[in-house]
Structure 1
Amino acid sequence: MQKDRGADDPGSCSTGACVPSFLPILVACFVVAGCTTQPGYMTPDFRTPSTWSTSSVPASSPPAEIGDAWWKALADPAIDAMVPSALADSPTLAQAVAHMDEARAVVGASAAQRLPALGLTAAAGRGRSLESGPDGGTSTGSTASAGLTLSWELDLFGRVRETVTTARERLAARTADARGVRLALAAEVADGVLALRGCAHSLQVQTADIASRARTLAMTRDRLAAGFVAAVDEARAASGLANARTELALRQARCERQVHALVALTGLQGADVRERVLGAPGAAAVSFMPEPPLLTLAEPAAVLAAHPKVMAADREAAAAWADIGVARAARLPRIDLGALLTGNWMRAAGSTLHATTWSFAANLAAPLFDGGAGAAGVDAAEARYRASAALLVQAVRHAAQEIEVALTDAASAARRMDTTREAVAAARTTLSATEARWLAGATSLFELEDARRQFAGAEDSAIAARRDRAQAWVALIRASGNSAEPASFNLVSQPDVLHANALPSNPQ
């Protein structure tokens, strides 16, 4: 005998009274969802310099007042005008920003997995059917339905959470990359302006030397016609003039290449680049080289921790660490909740029927045998993390090396400033005295040519020293990452061996 199922029967779902019976299941699921497959990421420990080797030279991390627009501290109108043009029209920077935007979108898509997915379904139809029986005949009917669907994965072992963490860390890495690209682009423009201006001043020195050599050749020919010198002196003067003109052509080509490089960096026309850097024809002379301000040197650990390349490598390592959790969670059971609410409408043979149905289900899926694919996925994720951690160590060492090289160059340029000025003064005096003696017939043309070469070389060295001092300042800004902010993670003095996080054992 069949028993009637009433409202008190716990198996009855004829009304909404049975919905609360699922609450204990949901509570249990949320409790279980607190499980995790591995600890949080910690930056590996490795050794950094305790001090910079060239500590007597002020450089590295600029004071806070310099800020992101650090090039304005040089007070060079050409650099101030051209850097913003490069930042606004750089394909390289636009690509870095696009990668950052893509990473931000991935964060949004990953975070959406934490929330239930709600969908809408609808259907409508009309059909004709043949009726059975002695009378036969046909009937036409219409059907329609509409409903809502809900699906939600319970993040039992942190798969979704670690996926979101991975996306966020990669967004942080792409942000650091974009910051580094911006810094490098501004430094390249400033360095190019300084190089072009130095090249132009070297051309002026070379042009003056050629004019002097041409006058010497003319006087030598007059003396040869008068019989005071031998023909070899004319040949020597003509050879020196030809060599100087050859060198001038080579320097002009180098200057043009520098103009083309600035055109590619800034998107400006070549004429605009020349006018901004060298000044318009007939206008007031442009300042030769800016005077770079002094920079304070921060502790190596703080400078390296805030360096864009190091920050990007550290965030990539953090993302790789989170990927291990994703791979581990993929081997564990997964519960998906699903719900459906549907309204059905049907009209046939002059009558209309309405029905509302709903369902709620929890689906459990767990791998039993995958041939080792899951374990291989975990191994691959762990290997990628070790590779990322090694790249982090490499990034720290390369950044430290770049800073040390920049410090050495800055120290060298500072020392050469005084010595080259002394050399120019001495070479100028020697050339004037030798030229006077040559005019008086007391010395040979060979000695005059040698004195002229020494003076031209001294002037070139002085120009290079002033250019190198300004370029070394730019190089120090770039090498240090233009950052004096507090360290975002600890870099402590340890042996140069990476101590990777202890990888957690596979959960049972």
Structure 2
Amino acid sequence: MRDLISSALPSTLPTAPAPGRLALLVAAAALVAGCSMAPVHQRPAAPVPAVWAWAGDSSATAPAAATLAWQDFVTDALLRQRIAQALAHNRDLRQALLDVEAARAMYGVQRAERLPGVEVQASGNRQRLPGDLSAAGASTVQSSYQAGVGLAAFELDLFGRVRSLSEAALQEYLASEEAARSVQISLVAEVVQASLLHDSARQRVALTQRTLASREAALQLVQQRRQHGLDTALDLHEAESLTEQARTELERSERQYRQAGNALTLLLGQPPQDQEQAADQAMDQALSTLPLVQDIGPGMPADLLTHRPDIRAAEHLLQSRNASIGAARAAFFPRISLTGALGSSSAELSHLFQGGQRSWSFMPQLQLPIFDGGRNQANLDLAQVRKDMAVVAYEKSIQTAFREVADALAATDTLRREEAAQRKLVTSSAQSLTLATARYRAGVDSHLRYLDAERSHFASQLALIDVATERQIALTTLYKALGGGWKKDRTPP
């Protein structure tokens, strides 16, 4: 490399025109700027098992999350409309995308340092010298004017310092891009979950309203039977208590429904556009029978390294810290900068661009650190410690992802069976209520038996809404934990 540099630099001050020599120097700089003192990046071993402890019964036939776009994962048209609305108006996502643009601009600034800067330069100087300072013994006025094209201080990146800084900025930009993609996937999952909670609360309101109407009708019947001496005062008070219990549950469900709507509005960035349409559908369809997402397969734990945006972002940050070590190492070696200019000079402004006024200058500069109080060594130690911190963060992100997927797999598997059992319980409690109602009206059973059957059926219906919502939320959490299916080609600037 030193031979290449010595052959490119002139041994003496050139007396010939300079444009060819400046071009030769720029070409030589481009040739020698390919070296790097950064350590070779090696992906740390994943500190997680090679297979999942339990992947569920349907994992073999279910589509993988990485190959399933969110438009296919979400099967409900209204929910897809909400997600599209959130992707267009959510402020957190907008902030993440702006962070990407800022990181991209920073990379562009740092990348420009690898190329020589050429600029038009013009200057003028006019001064008066008194007689005791003038060689002629009399006061004089001196003028000088220059104009031309100059080469700003351009560092010959012999040891890859500028290249390493540019690589670090590139990896920072790519990490911010992955972070934005992670925000996108999280936003999709959050909108799904918020919509499920919102619709679940609406279903609870509708169920409680029907139950309250039924209990009010039953209370009127007990009052009529009480007037005819068929029911006791205890039966009347129990019917009144059951009615007020339903009224209390209705107010609680109304509160949850309104608060869930507020949370959904915040995610969407504006009120849901489909609110009235969804409310009409909610009266006719039960959430427990309307699947919004479908089953997905977890794949292998190693797939998380390429599918999870937060893990990819952590790896890009690790590569950035790796490149920073190369820049810190290069600071120990000489630094050569080139400055030059080519143009015209004249003592008279009117003669500046006339023939014979051509001028040039060439000013190479060499900097070699001898004593800096340990600054370079401290910077290198700091870069190495930051890389070790990035390794720990990368490994922690993998472990966190593994835990999130394992928890989601456990939830989806158990909630699937729990929902099936709860559906059977609702069917059984409905049959019990039908029989208890008939026996009570026929005078065979007491009113207490009917009340117990009515309470059990109402509680089982509420539980079915809750477990169906939890199962679909668990599926959404699994989709998010596996990295989703957000695919977008990435082309560095």
Q: Is this a same-fold pair by TM over 0.5?
A: yes
Q: Does 1:293 align with 2:294?
A: yes
Contact 1:306-1:481 within 8 A present in 2 as well: yes
Task: Quote the residue 1:118 is aligned against.
Answer: 118
2:185 aligned with 1:162: no
Deviation per CA, 1:50-79, whole angstroms, max 9, x where unpaired? Answer: 2222223435994489643x2344331211
Distance 2:27 2:199 in 1: 72
The answer to whether the 8 A contact 2:33-2:159 is kept is yes
Deviations 1:400-455, CA, capped at 9 Å, x for gaps = 11111111111122112321121111101111111222223333333222111110
Q: What secondary structure sits across from 2:440 in the alignment?
A: helix
Is residue 336–residue 367 contact of structure 2 (8 Å, CA) maintained in 1? yes
- Structure 1 65/117 Cα, relative in aligned 2: closer, same or farther at 3 Å? closer
CA drift at 1:483: 4.5
Change in 2 beyond 3 A, CA 1:143/1:33: closer
Q: Partner of 1:49: helix, strand, or coil?
A: coil
Equivalence for 2:304: 303
* Preserved CA contact (<8 Å) 1:62 1:484: no
Shift of 1:255: 1.0
Partner residue in 1 for 2:215: 213
**2:181 counterpart of 1:179:** yes
What are the Cα deviations for residues 265-293 of structure 1, in whole angstroms up to 9, with x where unaligned?
A: 113325x34224323799x7687522643
Deviation at 1:89, TM superposition (A): 0.7
1:244 equivalent in structure 2: 246
Give 2:255's match in structure 1, choosing from 253, 256, 259. Answer: 253
Cα RMSD for the two superposed structures? 3.6
Answer yes or no: is the 8 Å Cα contact 1:78–1:193 preserved in 2.
no
Structure 2 unaligned blocks of 5 or more: 1-10
CA distance in 1, matches of 2:471, 2:315: 33
- Check if 1:49 corresponds to 2:49: yes
- Counterpart residue number, 1:384: 386
In structure 1, distance between residues paired with 2:36 and 2:321: 16
Say how many residue pairs are matched: 471
The one-letter code of the counterpart of 2:339 is G
| Matched residue, 2:462 | 460
Seen in structure 2, the aligned counterparts of structure 1 residues 100 and 236 have a Cα distance that, compared at 3 Å, is same
Which residue number corresponds to residue 76 of structure 1?
Answer: 76
1:492 is matched with none
- Maintained 8 Å contact 1:180/1:309: yes
Equivalent pair of 2:29/2:156 in contact (CA under 8 Å): yes
* Structure 2 letter corresponding to 1:197: D
Separation in 1, partners of 2:53, 2:471: 19
The CA deviation at 1:185 is: 0.8
SS of residue matched to 1:343: strand
Change (3 A) 1:353 1:164: closer
- Partner residue of 1:365 out of 357, 364, 367: 367
Cα separation, 2, equivalents of 1:329 and 1:195: 56
Among 202, 205, 215, the residue aligned to 1:203: 205
Matching residue's letter, 2:110: S
Provide Cα deviations, 1:442-475, integer angstroms capped at 9, x if missing partner.
3333322211111012112222333333323222
Alignment of 1:430 with 2:432, yes or no, is yes
Identity of aligned residues (%): 28
Where 1:16 maps in the other structure, the secondary structure is coil
Q: Post-superposition shift, 1:165? A: 1.0
2:410 aligns with one of 405, 408, 411 = 408
Query: Which of 193, 205, 209 does residue 191 from structure 1 map onto?
Result: 193
Please tell me the residue identity of whatever aligns with 1:378.
Answer: L
| 3-state SS in 1 of match to 2:363 | strand
Aligned AA (2:387): Y
Q: Any idea what SS the aligned residue of 1:481 has?
A: coil
How far apart in 1 are the matches of 2:333 and 2:440?
A: 95
Give the distance between the partners of 1:330 and 1:50, measured in 2 at CA.
42
Deviation at 1:168, TM superposition (A): 1.3
User: Could you tell me which amino acid in structure 2 is paired with residue 376 of structure 1?
Assistant: A
| Greater per-residue helix proportion | 2
User: Aligned equivalents of 2:351 and 2:76: distance in 1?
Assistant: 89
Deviation per CA, 1:193-237: give whole Å up to 9, x if none: 222222222222212221222122222222333333332322222
Q: Is 2:484 aligned against 1:478?
A: no
Q: Distance in 2 between matches of 1:71 and 1:18?
A: 59
Structure 2 counterpart of 1:333: 334
SS in 1 for 2:324: helix
Quick one: distance in 1 between partners of 2:97 and 2:246? 48
Q: Is the 8 A contact 1:63 1:484 kept in 2?
A: no
Matching residue of 1:105: 105
TM normalised by structure 1 equals 0.82
- CA shift in 2, pair 1:229/1:349, >3 Å: closer
Q: Is 2:307–2:483's contact at 8 Å kept on the other side of the alignment?
A: yes
When residues 419 and 80 of structure 1 are mapped into structure 2, their CA distance, relative to the original with a 3 A threshold, is: same
> CA-to-partner distance for each residue in 1:87-132, whole Å, 9 max, x for gaps?
0111111111111111111221111111111122212466778889
